[in-house]
A and B are shown apart, each in its own frame.
Chain A
Amino acid sequence: MRTIKAADIVPKVAEMIRHASIHLPDDVKRAFKDCMAAEDSPAAKEIFRQLLENSDMAEATGLPLCQDCGLAVFFVDVGEDVVVQGSLKDAVTRGMVLGYQEGFLRKSSCDPMTRANTGDNTPAIIHFDFVPGDRIRIAFMAKGGGSENMSRVTMLSPAQGWEGIKRFVVERVAEAGPNPCPPTMIGVGIGGTFERAPILAKRSLMRHLDEKHPDPKIAALEDELLTAINKLGIGPMGLGGKTTCLGVKIEMAPCHLASLPLAVNVQCHSIRHEEVVI
Chain B
Amino acid sequence: MAEYTLTTPLTDADVAPLRAGDVVFITGTIYTARDAAHKRLMALIDEGQPLPFELQGSIVYYVGPSPAPPGRPIGAAGPTTSYRMDTYAPRLHALGQKASIGKGKRSDAVKAALKEHTAVYFGATGGAGALLSKCITAARIIAFDDLGPEAIRELTVENFPVLVINDSVGGELYAVPDRKAAGLE
* Chain A residues, Cβ within 8 Å of B163: 43, 239
Q: Is the interface of B mostly helix, strand, loop or mixed?
A: loop
Chain B nearest CB from A59 CB (Å) reads 9
Q: What is the bound-complex CA distance between A275 and B150, given in angstroms?
A: 30
Determine if A51 and B129 form an interchain contact, defined as CB atoms under 8 angstroms apart.
Answer: no
Contact flag A177-B130 (CB < 8 Å), given A67-B64, A229-B182: no
Chain B 74-104 interface 0/1 with A at a Cβ cutoff of 8 Å (1 = within): 0111101101000000000000000000011
Q: Are B149 and A107 in contact, CB atoms less than 8 angstroms apart?
A: yes
Q: Which of A170, A234, A269, A270 contacts B184 (CB 8 A)?
A: A170
- Interface residue? B65 (CB, 8 A): yes
CB-nearest residue of chain A relative to B82?
A179
Residues of chain B within 8 A (CB-CB) of A205 are: none
Q: Are B179 and A174 in contact (CB under 8 A)?
A: yes
B46 contacts chain A at the CB level, 8 A cutoff: no
Q: Is the pair A234, B126 in contact by a Cβ cutoff of 8 Å?
A: no
CA distance A66 to B128 in the complex (A): 6
Q: How many residues from A make CB contacts under 8 Å with B?
A: 54
Tell me if A's interface is mostly helix, strand, loop or mixed. loop
A179 to B130, CA, bound (A): 19
Judge whether A106 and B65 touch: CB under 8 Å: yes
A229-244: CB near B (< 8 Å → 1, else 0) gives 1011111011111000
CA–CA, A107 and B104, complex, Å: 23
Contacts of A268 in B (CB 8 A): 126-127
Closest beta carbon of chain A to B132's beta carbon, Å: 8
Q: Are B128 and A106 in contact (CB under 8 A)?
A: no
B78 contacts A234, C-beta separation under 8 Å = no
A259 at the interface (CB under 8 A from B): no
- Does B179 contact A105, Cβ atoms closer than 8 Å? no
Chain A positions within 8 Å of B117 at CB level: none
Q: Can you list 21 pairs linking A and B with CB atoms under 8 Å apart?
A: A50-B131, A57-B134, A63-B69, A64-B76, A64-B129, A66-B129, A67-B149, A69-B66, A105-B67, A106-B75, A108-B64, A117-B148, A174-B179, A174-B182, A177-B174, A178-B104, A179-B83, A179-B105, A232-B182, A237-B125, A239-B163
